[in-house]
Chain A
Amino acid sequence: MDGSVASSSVWDTQKVYKHHEQQNVAQTRPKYREGRRLKAVKVYTINLESRYLLVQGVPAIGVMAELVQLFALYGVIEEYRPLDEYPAEQFTEVYLIQFQKLTSARAAKRHTDEKSFFGGQLHVCYAPEYETVEETKQKLQDRRRYVNWASQNAAKLHSQQAEVNTESSSSTDTRTAEAPIMQKNPEEARRENVNSDYMGFPLLPLPPTADISYRLQNHFTQPSQLQWTKETTEDKMGSLHNFIPPVQKTSTQSESSSSSGVKEGDLRQKQKISTPSIRFMPRTTHLESRKRKLDEQTFFLKEADKTGVLIGPKLPELPKLDMEDSSLNVTANLIRNTMTKAASVPEAKPVQAKHTTPKPRRRI
């Protein structure tokens, strides 16, 4: 018995081993350990791997050359042959392919198993039973050498990564150190709001964008707050001539510069308008400023919509009345459109508004 086994070449073994059979895939894995492909519960060791691949399910239509071409994509093939005696499904053939390198066989199996090939589905598995003793010995030695080379490399890489990590953590430290400074901005802005409330002129809430508050802090809150408090005291003393020129400067800036500049300008403008209104506010000016406030509000809302960072509930849209008649609806729409057009006009030409504001001061 021993002699017959020893004399038979490895290429003659036609037994179907358990590891040739396709196992059922596990369907019950929780999400976090579910891979991209469903796989059977199986442990791969070097014993199971081999340079020999058994390819089942090849359609028996004379496509051996194509099959070999397909597998040659993954590495040098040393030998291949059809296993005629191997039990195969009807109209399919089984091939044995021996790669020069184990890594090629691994790549080939990974990419061809369960793939369709000329209308059939390939089942590719390792066939270590075709190895000789020498090949098995070599395989184990190669694996041992590779693992120790790789783990030494990994240790090196790990120590390098540790260095990088300490570097990056120090850089994040500086970043977090910077953050509190940024967070101060809304606080200051709020303080400013309280200030203005106290003076009886509620400012619009600042837009919730961080960069705007940052800009406001730099260019607006500190200098203008000082300016403004100074100016208001002057206002109480009845002299406002110092007040006008800087405002006009900023408003002209606002026309030319970016949207944030516009906002600054608008805010200043409003302060300027509301300051004189303590004592003498002609009704027309009052109405004008009220309308401007409304415009600014819508302007801010639009701005927030654009940037997409609006916090809090939005203003309700104007209810659209159904006139229960199509022609009446058309007329109502027409009127509505004209109204919105008319309402948007002063926003388009703020220069006129600015010219009107110095007028009341002349009456002092």
Chain B
Amino acid sequence: MAGKNRFSVSDRFEYLQGLVTEFQDSDSDEAKEQVLANLANFAYDPSNMEALRTLQVTELFLDMLTEENENFVEFGIGGLCNLSMELESRDQILQSGGVPLVISCLSSSRDETVLSAITTLMNLITASSRSEITDSAVLQCMLRFSHTQNPRLRNLACVFLQEHCTQKQVDTARHALQGQSQSAVGIPLPKD
């Protein structure tokens, strides 16, 4: 890992800062998409996480989740998925009130967005955030996902239910799903 660092910490920081600045200053959606994807991919590398946190890229990603442009949402949640793997970044997302925003991504019509959202939610589970994330509506959504044709979505939803939810929670959610009190979380709105 140490041998991989071709650039010094300050060089990295400057480069990432340049990206953030370009994202903020650019008027072109195409350029913004590219920069956002760059930043999200940089968030994959643990050695960049500190710089990205300092530059408040977490906030930037969270802001993207409410964008109209589907690419922005996909790259933003992808970046959050990468960042939330690390504990400090996870806490930053939780402090910024990111959970409802991430849950809203479950209703996206894009597979990648939904997958990133599930993984991010799993990463964000802590003792204090557990109740918010394993909410009944989310569980119902996961149950629905666990029966889809898409194996990736199915697997991830199963992991979510197996790892982070009690059998009791799952049972009540399943019961609610069969009954009348269904939630609409995770059901994409029809396209116009």
Contact = CB atoms under 8 A, between A and B. Distances in A.
A154 B50 contact: yes
Interface string B85-115: 1111000000000000000000000011001
A45 B86 CA distance: 13
B37 A43 contact: yes
Nearest to B85: A147
Q: Which of A5, A130, A154, A161 has the most CB of B within 10 A?
A: A154
Nearest to B34: A41
Contact of A47 (B18, B33, B116): B116
Given A47-B115, A133-B158, A151-B46, 4 more contacts: A45-B112, A129-B150, A148-B85, A150-B47
B187 interface: no
Interface in A33-80: 33, 41-48
B37 A42 contact: yes
Contacts, number: 117
Nearest to B116: A45
B118 to A, nearest CB: 8
Contacts of A143: 85
B168 to A, nearest CB: 20
A14 to B, nearest CB: 12
B159 A148 contact: no
A148 B8 CA distance: 21
B19 A43 contact: no
Contacts of A18: 111
A10 B154 CA distance: 12
A26 B36 CA distance: 13
A128 interface: yes
Contacts of A129: 150-152
A161 B5 CA distance: 12
Question: Nearest 9 A-B pairs (CB), nearest first?
Answer: A43-B78, A150-B46, A147-B85, A129-B151, A43-B40, A136-B155, A47-B115, A151-B46, A45-B81
Contacts of B123: 144
B68 interface: no
A4 B36 CA distance: 40
B86 A158 contact: no
A158 B50 contact: yes
Given A45-B119, A46-B119, A132-B155, A154 B87 contact: no
> Interface range on chain A: under 10, 10 to 19, 20 to 34, or 35 or more?
35 or more
B13 to A, nearest CB: 11
A35 B15 CA distance: 13
A81 interface: no
A13 interface: yes
Interface in B115-160: 115-116, 119, 122-123, 147, 149-152, 154-156, 158-159
Nearest to B155: A136
A35 to B, nearest CB: 9
A147 B79 CA distance: 14
B9 A28 contact: no
Contacts of A84: none
29 contacts: A13-B151, A15-B149, A17-B150, A17-B152, A33-B19, A33-B34, A43-B41, A43-B74, A43-B75, A43-B112, A44-B44, A45-B44, A45-B112, A46-B82, A46-B85, A47-B81, A47-B152, A128-B152, A129-B150, A129-B152, A131-B151, A131-B155, A133-B158, A140-B122, A147-B46, A147-B85, A151-B50, A153-B1, A154-B49
Contact of B38 (A17, A33, A153): A33
Nearest to A158: B9
Nearest to B114: A47
Contacts of B122: 140
Contacts of A128: 152, 155
Nearest to B45: A150
A26 B29 CA distance: 13
B30 interface: yes
A48 B85 contact: no
B172 interface: no
